[in-house]
Amino acid sequence: MTTARAPRSDARANRAGILDAARSALANDPHASVDAIARSAGLSRRTLYGHFDDRDALIRELIVAGAQRFNDIAASVDDADARLTLARLAVRLWHEAAHVQVAAALALDEAHVAQTAEALAPLRRTVAQLVERGQRDGSFRTDLAAPTLARLIEEVSRTVVARVDASSPSAADLAVRTLLSIAGLSWREVDELLRAHPDVRTSVKESE
């Protein structure tokens, strides 16, 4: 019985270099070709195809890698107060999206919706569970069913990431306030929450 060998270190380095080059090339041109990405990586087209079957396969891996970082964030954020959990989750996800705008943009592309949904399944489960908890303890609105509210939060998040300039000084603050408002908090309640928990406001400022 034979076992599959782990990729050689130079092969792993080439693959990582291709992904980094793809992020850079796609940041400059969302429609960058395989040739352009290979040149950016300092590799031949043939070498690139030795790692990825085609451009779509490369993009799929970028999405999966980006999604894993989002899922890891979701797994690390928790608080007894559902409102605080949502606020901290929002600012950390925004911070991550602002630093990996290429992967975020690719993930939001309608052509990759199905794959993105699958890759972000852990994050979506976290949001769904958070909404259910917030509705049970009275933190979140209850005029909408939990699955509907969770989906609304998800869709609004997509819109904010897609439409708001990440370089804007108020971008992260807007993301946090928008999601808390969708969850059912008034603007006064959001202000009060953020004043009472300056660590969240600090996180917002650091992500801007």
Confidence band of 60 (pLDDT split at 50, 70, 90): confident
Which of helix, strand or coil describes residue 80? coil
- Apex 48 CA angle, 23 and 45, nearest 5: 105
CA distances from 157 to 8, 38, 100, 178 (A): 39, 33, 15, 8
Share of the chain above pLDDT 90, in %: 37
Structure confidence at residue 39 (pLDDT): 87
Q: What is the DSSP letter of 111?
A: G
Question: Is 172:204 a contact under the CB 8 Å cutoff?
Answer: yes
Note the pLDDT tens digit of each residue in 157-198: 877 766 666 666 677 888 899 999 999 999 999 999 999 998
Structure confidence at residue 24 (pLDDT): 80
User: Which residues contact residue 129 at a Cβ distance below 8 angstroms, ignoring those fewer than 6 apart?
Assistant: none
Q: What is the mean pLDDT of residues 25-46?
A: 84
Tell which residue, 21, 91, 88, has the closest CA to residue 61.
21
pTM for this structure?
0.78
Question: Is 19:40 a contact under the CB 8 Å cutoff?
Answer: no
Q: Which residue has the tokens 């807007």?
A: 174
Q: What architecture does CATH give domain 9-52?
A: Orthogonal Bundle (1.10)
Structure confidence at residue 2 (pLDDT): 47
Q: How far apart are CA 140 and CA 121, in angstroms?
A: 22
Note the pLDDT tens digit of each residue in 98-124: 666 656 666 666 667 778 888 889 999
Fold entry, domain 61-207: Tetracycline Repressor; domain 2 (1.10.357)
Which residue ranges make up each domain of the chain? 9-52, 61-207
Structure confidence at residue 149 (pLDDT): 97
Structure confidence at residue 162 (pLDDT): 66
Q: How far apart are CA 11 and CA 186, in angstroms?
A: 53
Structure confidence at residue 164 (pLDDT): 61
- Of residues 51 and 41, more confidence is placed in 51
* Fold equal for 9-52 and 61-207: no
